[in-house]
Amino acid sequence: MFHFSPQLVAGPIERAKNLLPQFFRKVYFDYIRVTDGLKLMLWGMFKKIVIADNLAKYVNLVYNDVHAYTGLPLIIATIFFAFQIYCDFSGYSDIAIGASQVMGFKLMDNFKRPYYSKSIAEFWKRWHISLSSWFRDYLYITLGGNRVSISRLHFNLFITFLVSGLWHGANWTFVIWGALHAFYIIFALFSKGIRERIVAFIKIRRLPTLNKYSQVLTTFSLVSFAWIFFRSNNVSDAFYVVGNLFNWQGFTDFSYIRASLFLASPYIFIVSVVGIIFLEFVHYIQRQGSIRHMMSNKPVYLRFFVYYVLLFSILLFGNFTSQEFIYFQF
């Protein structure tokens, strides 16, 4: 039996019509293809081992005992988990896509800077693209898609996201997570006219940069709020986090703030924050296209300096404890 090792159930979930013909094609060594694949694998390992696995230290400490915390630690852990699951899952996808490329196979992109989305609908066009497009093609469109009445459209969206939640596991936390995303999109459709009038009234479109990043921040906040249910061990824990997220008691106490930031350790917090800043710096550069292709035009000393920085960052700051990929559990 043939086993295509770079691609497991976590994704990218490639379509048979795209993948199967590649098994019957002769593959020859190509230096650019191989090195591009290795670069993507290196970037994926950096995201997983340096960023995601260090963030996991803080997130696990809080979410495995949420009733011991209120306020700031819950906020930090929730934001950290948003970046942890992204770096964990997109890191895995990058490694799988890069390894496939080294061997001569081309897999679809699975993430396109999802936290730069200006709406929840756009988020799902950028997040786990292989799975979200599968649900769109084989469930949402089969139910009738958007060529139906408004009430039926809302039903189709709700069922699609509900099934998406159940796909992750038979747990009410995943069901609520899926239902929340359905509510976000249905509410956005329902309130579109009202929101456009509000935007016109406050004239925020005169400040396009502010308008864009306010939408990005709003979308990220909504997605992060939904991640509370995805990460929580049970529904009771999730509602505790929601109820105590903005418990401001102690927010003016410096010792409370310091203890909240360095809950896991100062080292973990600093490495995690610097890792997120570096990640977003790379994402900012990538708005013009793939950074791998940009780097190929740079002088050789600069390229290898970047490669060695990533490699030694993994060796020096990576968390090499047994932290498996999050999506391996689904």
Residue closest to 140 by CA, chosen among 118, 159, 114: 159
Judge contact between 90 and 308, C-beta under 8 A: no
Q: Residues 154, 168, 181, 293: which is the catalytic one?
A: 168
The rounded distance, in Å, linking the Cα atoms of 297 and 295 is 5
Query: Apex CA 259: angle with CA 57 and CA 275, to 5°?
Result: 45
Query: Apex CA 128: angle with CA 147 and CA 50, to 5°?
Result: 160
Judge contact between 294 and 248, C-beta under 8 A: no
Judge contact between 15 and 229, C-beta under 8 A: no
What is the residue whose two structure tokens read 């970046």? 83
Residue type, 266: P
57 C-beta neighbours (distance < 10 Å), count = 21
Q: Which residues contact 258 (CB under 8 A, 6 or more apart)?
A: none
Is 168 assigned a catalytic role? yes
Which residues are annotated as catalytic? 168
